[in-house]
Structure 1
Amino acid sequence: MDIHIIPCLKDNYAYIVENKKTKNACVIDPSESAPIKDFLNKNKLNLKFILNTHHHADHVGGNLELKKEFNSKILGFEKDKERIPGIDIVLKNRQIWNFENSDVLIEHVPGHTSGHIFYYFKNEEAAFTGDTLFSFGCGRLFEGSYLEMVNSLKKIKSLPSKTKIFCGHEYTMSNLKFCIEIDKNNAELKKKYNQISNNIKNKLPSVPSDLSDEMNLNIFLKFDDYKFKKQLGFQDLNEVDFFKKIRDLKDNF
């Protein structure tokens, strides 16, 4: 299957997953309907399903119009069933859902919101992480605790290292600037910054990122890295307190 990146609103991304043989498709987090409809109609795709990672308006704004036009089914997590517009199929934690003979793992990852999930397409080795894990960053905590967010990020870290991370927003340059501010002497971070900066100048998206790069360079995932914590003088902080320290610094960056 092919994965298509659809820019929406100011800095959102929606994603269309297409079965090239059947021309059936699903969309993840359609914040608005117009760019999704344009792509589907241009490529003569049949939108079977609408997948939401969480209930925020900039991830579900296109739900109802797309459902009406394409007679699609809307999916979301059971804890968000009262908050996701037009929901038809209620998903459970650790459920395997099947799309076009591709198994999709559903994982509950509270923190950004209480009902947030990610979708891991096993055959495609692709994780759609919404606003939990960004490219070289992570989401703000609106409804969950720091402990919940750490445990949620651990779930993503446990995926195969070659997993492609498709996140909800184009925040990558800001996130990399913050990572470099904290991890000043990391040459790999600076190389990644220059590479992605060139991509964006050429109007290319920064996504997807590789989970292996996230594990290596994303400081929000280093809560269990004693050597890194010692480098910053935070070796006495446990995983949650270290993550809280970094998240609070980013909130004020």
Structure 2
Amino acid sequence: MSVFQVHVFTCRTDNFGVLVHHPASGATASIDAPEEAPILEALAAKRWDLTHILTTHHHPDHVEANLALKRRYHAQIYGPVAERAKIPGLDHPVGDGDRFEFAGEAVEVIETPGHTAGHICYHFPEHGLLFAADTLFALGCGRLFERPASDMWVSLQKLMALPDDTEVYFGHEYTLSNARFAVTVDPDNEALLARFEEIESLRAQGRMTVPTTIGVEKETNPFLRPHDAGIRAVLEMEDASDAEVFAEIRRRKDNF
């Protein structure tokens, strides 16, 4: 059982705010800082004090509140070394394979270029937690702005190698839209169809779809399944490489 408490709430229009709290020490990290007011409200409701901000990439909807929160709490900001000039208030640039301690617990940095050139994810290996931001979504992956599809496919394979029971917290509530697309390229996947129904029910109730797990995504997320014969048949790409199939799935999602 994890020693951390994870609190998820909404920010902006469709961002998730995520706080990771260590009760024994009182340490609390915000995964990214999409918007100051909702983060302050969440901290106040939980009676937690912010000590860290773990930044995944430089996009404004993930760093907007960095400086305001740092001034208020003197929080230490970690972020991708490859984007160090673009991360406001950065104290600790980190890159692929780096490890640091948060509240005495190990955090591993996994570099996942694709959505941005220097995007990183934070993995808490002893507690089965992955904070993937805009690299991996439930039933989706991040749009490719700064790196080609081949780079994103390599990044996703890094995440697929984590244990299946790893809980994945992602950056946006895109899941219903992702599900609607997923069934167009993987229409015979019974696990996906069942999950689509579950997601429709959750969203109809106004409930969030986070977290997911690596295992569930490997079974149902088409972006992690370019090897699948059914998907390849739908795309008429039976003889293509996995990277080529992934790129076509991403292209179709962009135009969906």
What is the alpha-carbon distance in structure 2 between the residues aligned to residue 5 and residue 134 of structure 1?
15
Report the alpha carbon displacement of residue 43 of structure 1 after superposing the two structures with TM: 2.1
Question: Residue 23 of structure 1 contacts residue 44 of structure 1 at CA under 8 Å; is this kept in 2?
Answer: no
Residue 102 of structure 1 contacts residue 122 of structure 1 at CA under 8 Å; is this kept in 2? no
Unaligned runs of 5+ in 2: none
Identify which of 32, 56, 59 aligns with 2:59. 56
Tell me which moved more, 41-50 or 12-21. 41-50
Residue 156 of structure 1 aligns with an amino acid whose one-letter code is: L
Q: Deviations over 1:171-200 (max 9, x none)?
A: 000001101111122222121111122112
Question: Which residue is 1:186 aligned to?
Answer: 189
Rounded Cα–Cα distance in structure 2 between residues aligned with 1:193 and 1:53 = 28
Shifted more, 2-11 versus 42-51: the winner is 42-51
State yes or no: 1:91 paired with 2:94. yes
Kindly indicate whether residue 144 of structure 2 is the aligned counterpart of residue 141 of structure 1: yes
- Taking the aligned partners of 2:141 and 2:45, their CA distance within structure 1 comes to 34
Q: Which position in structure 1 is the counterpart of 2:135? A: 132
Amino acid at match of 1:190: L
User: What displacement does 1:110 show?
Assistant: 0.4
Q: Distance in 2 between matches of 1:104 and 1:234?
A: 39
Partner of 1:207: 210
Distance in 1, matches of 2:224 and 2:102, equals: 30
User: TM (normalized to structure 2)?
Assistant: 0.95
**Residue 176 of structure 2 is aligned to residue 155 of structure 1:** no
Letter in 1 for 2:58: H
Aligned to 1:119: 122
Contact persistence 2:51–2:75 (CA under 8 A): yes
Deviation for aligned residue 1:228 = 4.2
Point out the more displaced range, 231-240 or 46-55. Answer: 231-240
The one-letter code of the counterpart of 1:154 is Q
Following the alignment from structure 1 to structure 2, what is the Cα–Cα distance between the partners of residues 23 and 44?
10
Q: Which moves more between the two structures, 228-237 or 58-67? A: 228-237
Which one of the candidate residues 30, 50, 70 is aligned to 1:27? Answer: 30
Specify the code of the residue in structure 2 equivalent to 1:100. Answer: A
Aligned residues: 253
Counterpart in the other structure of 2:85: 82
Who is 1:68 aligned against? 71
What's 1:234 paired with?
237
Cα distance in 1 for residues equivalent to 2:167 and 2:40: 25
Show CA shifts across 1:99-142 (max 9, x none): 11221110111011001000011222111111111100011110
1:243 matched to 2:243: no
State the shift of 1:231 in Å. 5.7
Corresponding letter in the other structure for 2:19: I
Structure 1: which 5+ residue stretches go unaligned? none
Give, in angstroms, the shift of residue 238 of structure 1. Answer: 0.8
Q: TM-score, normalised by structure 1?
A: 0.96
Is 236-245 or 107-116 further displaced after alignment? 236-245
Equivalent position of 2:198 in the other structure: 195
Identity %: 36
Once residues 44 and 25 of structure 2 are traced to their aligned partners in structure 1, the CA distance between those partners, rounded to angstroms, is: 15
Partners in 2 of 1:55 and 1:231 — Cα distance? 36
Provide the rounded CA distance (Å) in 2 between the counterparts of 1:214 and 1:173: 14
Q: CA RMSD in A?
A: 1.3
The answer to whether residue 41 in structure 2 is matched with residue 41 in structure 1 is: no
Aligned equivalents of 2:229, 2:172: Cα separation in 1: 30
Per the alignment, in what secondary structure is the counterpart of residue 242 of structure 1? Answer: helix
Contact 2:188 2:230 in 1 (8 A): no
SS of the residue corresponding to residue 82 of structure 1 reads: helix
**Distance (Å, rounded) in 2 between the aligned partners of 1:166 and 1:237:** 31
